[in-house]
Amino acid sequence: MRRQLITSAAKSVGHANAVQAEFAEAGISAEVTQNILKQHKYYLNWDIETKLRPALQSWLQELGTEQLSQQLQKVPHLLMCMPEEHNEVYSWLVSKGVNAARVQQKAPTVMTRKIGAVQSTFEALQQAAAFSDAQMCTLLHKHSVALASGPGRVLGTLQAVTAMLGMPMTSGSFRQLIIAAHDRLFFMSSATLHQRVTFFCQMYATGTHVARTAITTAVFMTPEPVMRTRAAKLQEKLGWDNEQLKQKLSAQPNLLNKEPSTIARNVQEMQGAGFSQTQVWAMCTVQPTLLGRKWTSDTNAEKLQFLTCLLGLTLDDIAARPHLLLHSINSSLGPRVWFLYQTGAIEAPNTVMTSGLFGYMNDSKILFSEQFSSPSAFPAMVFDSAFIDQWKQRWEFLRQQMNLSVKTIAAHQDLLLTSLPDRLAPRWQLLSEFASVQADFKAEDHLTGLTTLSDQDFAVLLEAGGKLH
């Protein structure tokens, strides 16, 4: 008996080694192979000659080694289906008007299901709530994972939602809610979904309408004991009584998805920056992600200074437009404002609020470029990746290499119009070198000279020890 066990174990080890060797033969690294086999152990039981090797060879022909390795890391059980089956699902989704590439990206397991299984789930979902073809496309672009489950599971989710809201499943408002729901909705079992949302509403809701918000903000991702603990900590750290707790959580159920210490810290830091308590909660109700941002970080302090010092916004202006605090200075706000400034669309950066063009700050790069880069509008300049990169490099040089504060940059805005490789960088290097050998010379005292002096006058400045006659 013992000999049989030893022999069996040896065969098992030998087969595992053979499986790993087969992946290696297909060009898959040992590290990737170990991760795949750890997540999908069924491959260790596959017959190499009749199952594993044919599957690997088929996918190699379809994708090539590099893409196959990448796909296996995303979808370890990819080999469970053949390329023809994968492509059949993909093509069918395209025929229904669905962005199959997006579905594959968000829920790659969908492509490994049998075509009949995907069709059954699709049809059950569409028929149950009377979704139009266009609504199904919108739904699946967000809730792609729904197609990874069977009809029973997705119907259970719909039934749980309609039971909690008392809303007919075939009503237009129900369809709108499902489409608007958090994209984790179909990840949960219907029982867990119902249990957690019901618990939240019984404990913290000010009215029945809160169930809708709870579904769109994914409070159902947090287990009931964790909800209870976090709610108690919020009361402790922010000094809320029971009524205040219910009001805040009814407006923002997703507060229970975050650590109370993080929320309390951010609220305190935002108030410390000058916003009133009323403004803070109004801003965070519109932009809940602000509660997850670390307000003590240099990035947010810099962003606030940029808005106030360079764009001339008041805290009231910012509180009314909290989305501005989510924009990047380097890749969004900064380049857009300076493009408008350099093309003459606005008189100065601090006039962007009154120019009538402030709304364009929210546009994507493509839309902004189409609006302001057309030959008929501003033929001298184009808002593209090159312009953004140049502005970003210039800003980072001023902040990191020259170590200038945002307030100092605001007082010397021509620095942001000066060529970095041709003038700003070489001149700053000369000033810094001069300052290192002459104690009473400070490079930062000559920022105006960096941008306004001719090469000849700049040379004279250095020769005169920083004093032009």
Q: Is the model more confident about 157 or about 452? A: 157
* Dihedral sign from CA coordinates of 236, 239, 242, 247: negative
Tell me which range, 28-37, 91-100, 237-246, 317-326, is most confidently predicted by mean pLDDT. 91-100
Contacts of 163 (CB under 8 A, 6+ apart): 194
Taking each helix axis as running N to C, give the angle between helix 190-204 and helix 151-165, from 0 to 180 degrees, rounded to the nearest 10: 20
Residue 325: pLDDT band by 50, 70, 90 thresholds?
Answer: confident
Q: Is the model more confident about 40 or about 321? A: 321
Q: What is the pLDDT of residues 327-379, one digit of tens each?
A: 888 888 899 999 888 888 888 898 988 888 888 888 888 888 877 765 554 55
- Percent of the chain scored above 70 by pLDDT? 93
Round to whole Å and give the CA distance between 455 and 231. 64
Q: Quick check: 459 pLDDT over 90?
A: no
Q: What is the pLDDT of residues 105-146, one digit of tens each?
A: 888 889 888 999 999 999 999 999 999 999 999 999 999 999
Q: Cβ of 364: how many Cβ atoms within 10 Å?
A: 9
pTM of full prediction above 0.75: no
Q: Are 372 and 408 in contact (CB under 8 A)?
A: no
Plot region of 218 (φ>0 → left; ψ -120 to 50 → alpha; else → beta)? left
At 320 the pLDDT is 92
At 135 the pLDDT is 95
The residue among 83, 89, 54, 53 whose CA lies nearest residue 71 is 83
Q: Quick check: 420 pLDDT over 50?
A: yes
Domain boundaries, the chain: 1-80, 83-187
Average pLDDT over the chain, rounded to whole?
85
Taking each helix axis as running N to C, give the angle between helix 172-180 and helix 133-142, from 0 to 180 degrees, rounded to the nearest 10: 30
Round to whole Å and give the CA distance between 425 and 397. 8
At 6 the pLDDT is 41
At 7 the pLDDT is 46
User: Hey, what long-range contacts does 401-410 have (CB within 8 A, 24 or more apart)?
Assistant: 401/425, 401/428, 402/428, 402/444, 404/444, 404/447, 405/305, 406/302, 406/305, 406/306, 406/309, 406/310, 407/305, 407/309, 408/444, 408/447, 409/309, 409/310, 410/309, 410/310
Phi first, then psi: give them for residue 405, nearest 5 degrees. -75, 165
Round to whole Å and give the CA distance between 408 and 403. 10
Lowest mean pLDDT among 195-199, 223-227, 286-290, 417-421: 286-290
Q: Quick check: 469 pLDDT over 70?
A: no
The residue among 194, 255, 208, 186 whose CA lies nearest residue 227 is 255
Plot region of 98 (φ>0 → left; ψ -120 to 50 → alpha; else → beta)? beta
At 171 the pLDDT is 94
Q: Quick check: 23 pLDDT over 70?
A: yes
CATH 1.25.70.10 matches 83-187: yes
Q: Are 140 and 147 in contact (CB under 8 A)?
A: yes
Q: How far is CA 288 from CA 3, 13, 54, in A?
A: 64, 52, 50
- Percent of the chain scored above 90 by pLDDT? 29
Q: Cβ of 147: how many Cβ atoms within 10 Å?
A: 25
